[in-house]
Amino acid sequence: MIKTYREVINDTLIKLMNNDPRIILIGEDIGVYGGCFGVTKGLIEKFGAKRVIDSPMCEQSLVGIGIGAAIYGLKPIIEIMFMDFMTLAYDQLFNHASIFSYLSNGNVCVPLVIRVPAGAGKGYGATHSKTLTASLMNIPGIKIFAPSNALDVAALLEEAVKDSNPVIFIEHKLLYEQRQETSKTSANEIVGKANIVKDGKDIVLISYSKTVFDCLEAANILEKEAISCQVIDLRYLKPLDIETIKDAVDKVGKVLIVEEGYGMCGIAAEIMAQINENCFYSLEAPPKRLTALDLPIPCCKEYESAIIPSVPQIVNTVRKMLNE
């Protein structure tokens, strides 16, 4: 059956909530409005206002509420409307959610899921467009999932809800409308593993979330020039599946990392460091990265699209890397 990414999340939430009365949803405008991006549409009608809770605007307390409720028997799924708003809740993530299991020797766990849409491309400007995944990867004790497609999103959401730890679940605004055949997938096949979405022998393109599709599009263009790209969808940012990356580098030798987050201390920077540490001598060329420019994200189209890595940029970078 063909469904959108948004519909699959909605279906999965229904399935999970039907099976587990401990699951509650809390967020701003997730009730009758259906969430800013319509992901929770119809859920308040199905499960009532007791389980689908429209909250005041107070992101940091919402995450705190989620932590407290998770400690005492519930399985809260908190929706933070935009990833930019996550910054308001950083204290609760850095200093609270992430430390309970470690300090209590596993006696107190926090099975909390925070769903959050990231990314630019909608012209929402500097406070509604950022991708801040890398900053969250700096929190020991947190997990980060970022499914790039409708097929993975159901499995990863189920896995996130089953997890006993705080999971930040990153969606992308431009993925919500993406349509895909969703009939078969199993969480068991993918738990913790990055996905090789396309095999290739000349260069590895490593990415996650929406930019995976940019990499695939670039790979298709390059295919016509007889350049064969392998494309890896990380899916899990924390813990990071370095094994799959290492295997790919060992096999292919050239790497380009593409992400929508900022370059400074970003995911690409981290992966490059881990490649250096783990498989430096397999490299046939210096690894390269394409990231957001180190700028606030402006509204106007020309600037917005110039700040985020694009398909032509990926294509050109790969050509250059292979000609060097």
Residues that bind another protein (CB under 8 A): 24, 50, 55-56, 58, 60-74, 76, 91-92, 95-96, 99-109, 140-141, 143, 164-165
Active site residue 128: yes
CB of 60 to another protein, least distance (A): 5
d(CA 27, CA 78): 6
CB of 57 to another protein, least distance (A): 9
Calculate the dihedral angle through the C-alpha atoms of 112, 115, 119, 123, rounding to the nearest 10 degrees.
Answer: -140
Peptide bond between residue 312 and the one before it cis (omega within 30 degrees of 0)? no
d(CA 10, CA 279): 41
Whose Cβ is closer to another protein: residue 107's or residue 186's? 107
CB of 118 to another protein, least distance (A): 23
CB of 58 to another protein, least distance (A): 4
Whose Cβ is closer to another protein: residue 24's or residue 197's? 24
Among residues 59, 159, 259, 304, the one annotated as catalytic is 59
Cα 157-173-221 angle, rounded to 5 deg: 100
Whose Cβ is closer to another protein: residue 172's or residue 238's? 238
Among residues 79, 128, 159, 304, the one annotated as catalytic is 128
Cross-strand pairs, 4: 179
C-alpha to C-alpha distances, 180 to 149, 164, 177, 200, nearest whole angstrom: 8, 30, 10, 23
Whose Cβ is closer to another protein: residue 91's or residue 294's? 91
Active site residue 172: no
Strand order in the sheet with 203-207: 195-198, 229-233, 203-207, 255-262, 288-292
Q: Which residue numbers are catalytic?
A: 59, 128
